[in-house]
Chains A and B, each alone.
Chain A
Amino acid sequence: AQSVTQLGSHVSVSEGALVLLRCNYSSSVPPYLFWYVQYPNQGLQLLLKYTSAATLVKGINGFEAEFKKSETSFHLTKPSAHMSDAAEYFCAVGGTGYSTLTFGKGTMLLVSP
């Protein structure tokens, strides 16, 4: 069985500050890990994915995440927050082929001027 825990349902940062969204996973097999972003009244958009090729993964909009097997973590970071980053972020774990995704409960990122 696979599961995802996202620490903090809400994270508030100032514009220009570091963004850190936390994700821990549980998986009985080597996982594939994903971060998705959801803007209001929209579906989910893929930010980045970890597929075992490299532990540091770069995604769109300046986001990146680091896979740490020893900590079973896949935290999402961005050096400098922008107002347009305000959205809900979901971490998900999945497998290969037609495996489904298991999502965390999400973290709402609030960015203040």
Chain B
Amino acid sequence: QVHLVESGGGVVQPGRSLRLSCAASGFTFSSHALHWVRQAPGRGLEWVAVIWYDASNKYYTDSVKGRFAISRDNSKNTLYLQMHSLRVEDTAVYYCARGEVVGIIEHWGQGTLVTVSS
């Protein structure tokens, strides 16, 4: 059974950094692209970033480009999101998610809340 567990969320001041982690189990981690998707309180879903199965390609939504970095450690079955220069508008629940070949997300973590506030 696919299991994705995020950690690392919390309250942080604007301009500071935070690193999220996602521990995966129940599938061949190194065979799947992985995504971060976020959802601000009471708002819709926003795709944040993707990293290919072998980390050969990484893509970001424009609002986080240059501030966030997605990475993975296939030996530890762990996905990361390093977030720098955090802004109030980055406040959201961040979901780790497994991408499928057909272009959907079928498996999601439970999410970790990041609150950017002074």
User: Are A and B co-members of a single complex?
Assistant: no
Q: Which residues of B contact A (CB under 8 A)?
A: none
